[in-house]
Amino acid sequence: MNDTSSAPSKRQGLKRVWHAFFYSAEGLRAGWSEPAFRQEAVLAFLILPGAWWLGQSWTEMVLLVGVVVAVLVVELLNTAIEAAIDRVGPEWHEQSKRAKDTGSAAVLLSLLLCGGVWLSALWRWWSA
Mean pLDDT taken over the chain: 92
What is the structure's pLDDT at 10?
81
Question: Does residue 47 sit in the same domain as residue 27?
Answer: no
Classify 6 as helix, strand or coil. Answer: coil
Output the domain CATH number for residue 54: 1.10.287.3610
Q: How far apart are CA 70 and CA 116, in angstroms?
A: 13
| Interval 74-93: pLDDT, tens | 999 999 999 999 999 888 99
Mean pLDDT in residue range 92-121: 97
Question: Does residue 62 sit in the same domain as residue 93?
Answer: yes
Q: How far apart are CA 6 and CA 116, in angstroms?
A: 46
Q: How far apart are CA 32 and CA 76, in angstroms?
A: 9
Answer yes or no: is pLDDT of 1 > 50: no
What is the structure's pLDDT at 69?
98
What are the residue ranges of helices labelled H in 6-93?
Answer: 13-32, 35-47, 49-54, 58-88
Question: Does residue 73 sit in the same domain as residue 115?
Answer: yes
Question: Does residue 73 sit in the same domain as residue 86?
Answer: yes
| pTM of the predicted model as reported, rounded to 2 decimal places | 0.86
Q: Is 75 a catalytic residue?
A: yes
Mean pLDDT in residue range 11-21: 90
Q: Which of 34, 40, 60, 75 is catalytic?
A: 75
**pLDDT band at residue 7 using 50, 70 and 90 as cut-offs:** low
Question: Does residue 48 sit in the same domain as residue 5?
Answer: no
Q: How far apart are CA 66 and CA 60, in angstroms?
A: 10
Q: What residue numbers bound the domain in which 23 lies? A: 1-33
Question: Does residue 15 sit in the same domain as residue 55?
Answer: no
Q: 74, 80, 77, 62: which is closest to 109 by C-alpha?
A: 74
Top pLDDT among 90 and 42 is at 42
CA dist list (Å): 29 to 23, 34, 38, 75: 10, 9, 10, 13
